[in-house]
């Protein structure tokens, strides 16, 4: 019975580790996407004639979404 409990605990720990690795990978991916968007977005927004204040607020919104 004790061995079975160890296997259950090990399985739960593996699940938590896998979940954490996925979260880290997702955060890294979001940071990369955010950097690319922040470099591309000003050029795209300039084509549509938006002000720099609007660009800044949109970049802030993108960052907020990436942090969630």
Maximal C-alpha separation, the chain? 69
**29: pLDDT strictly greater than 80:** yes
Please say if the pLDDT value at position 66 is more than 70.
Answer: no
Count the domains in the chain.
1
Range of the domain at 16: 2-67
Could you give the residue ranges of the DSSP H alpha helices within 48-68? 52-67
Residue in the block written with tokens 């960052």:
63
- Establish how many alpha carbons lie within 13 A of residue 55's alpha carbon, considering only the half-sphere containing its beta carbon: 16
Whole-number Å distance between alpha carbons of 27 and 4: 35
Q: Using the predicted structure, report yes or no on whether residue 19 has a pLDDT greater than 80.
A: yes
Model confidence at 22: pLDDT above 80? yes
Please report which confidence band the pLDDT of residue 48 belongs to, taking 50, 70 and 90 as the band edges.
Answer: low
């Amino acid at each position: 019975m004790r061995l079975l409990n160890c296997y259950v605990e090990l399985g739960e720990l593996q699940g938590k580790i896998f979940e954490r690795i996925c979260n880290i990978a997702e955060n890294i991916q979001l940071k990369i996407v955010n950097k690319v968007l922040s470099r591309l977005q000003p050029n795209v927004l300039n084509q549509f004639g938006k002000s720099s204040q609007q660009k800044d607020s949109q970049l802030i919104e993108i960052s907020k979404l990436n942090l969630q």
